[in-house]
């Protein structure tokens, strides 16, 4: 079994979540595919297991919001859009920190 570095694990997680965010961007919040929702829930669980509790909370909130909005006549796209933006900001900052930490480990 191959051992992955913490950087590789975070890179894979952020790449997966970025892919999910791209799917949401293309489909909108009203026509999210069941597989995308399933993947979002799994990514939230993985993020929590990897210690990215903020990301896990944001993904869970987006998952819950999209799931609930499917059964409501009155939509709340503003709240979902806010979570979407926060997730993208989190991913950007996470990738930056990972790059800086990699450099620090390399030169230390």
What domain range includes position 79? Answer: 6-107
Q: What is the pLDDT of residues 15-31, one digit of tens each?
A: 999 999 999 999 888 88
Task: Kindly state whether residue 56 falls inside one of the protein's structural domains.
Answer: yes
Task: Kindly state whether residue 13 falls inside one of the protein's structural domains.
Answer: yes
Task: Kindly state whether residue 1 falls inside one of the protein's structural domains.
Answer: no
Q: What is the pLDDT of residues 37-80, one digit of tens each?
A: 999 999 999 999 999 999 999 999 999 999 988 776 666 778 99
Residue 75 CB-half CA count within 13 A: 11
Model pTM?
0.89
Task: Kindly state whether residue 20 falls inside one of the protein's structural domains.
Answer: yes
User: According to DSSP H, which parts of the chain are helical?
Assistant: 6-27, 34-49, 53-69, 77-107
Task: Kindly state whether residue 50 falls inside one of the protein's structural domains.
Answer: yes
The 3-class SS string of 76-107 reads: CHHHHHHHHHHHHHHHHHHHHHHHHHHHHHHH
Q: How many domains does the chain have?
A: 1
């Amino acid at each position: 079994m191959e051992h992955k570095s913490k950087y590789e694990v975070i890179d894979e997680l952020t790449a997966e979540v970025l892919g999910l965010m791209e799917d949401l961007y293309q489909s909108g919040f009203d026509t999210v595919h069941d597989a995308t929702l399933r993947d979002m829930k799994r990514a939230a669980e993985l993020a929590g297991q990897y210690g990215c509790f903020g990301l896990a909370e944001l993904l869970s909130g987006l998952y819950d919001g999209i799931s609930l909005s499917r059964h409501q006549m009155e939509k709340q796209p503003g709240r979902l859009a806010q979570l979407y933006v926060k997730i993208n900001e989190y991913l950007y900052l996470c990738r930056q920190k990972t790059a800086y930490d990699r450099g620090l480990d390399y030169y230390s």
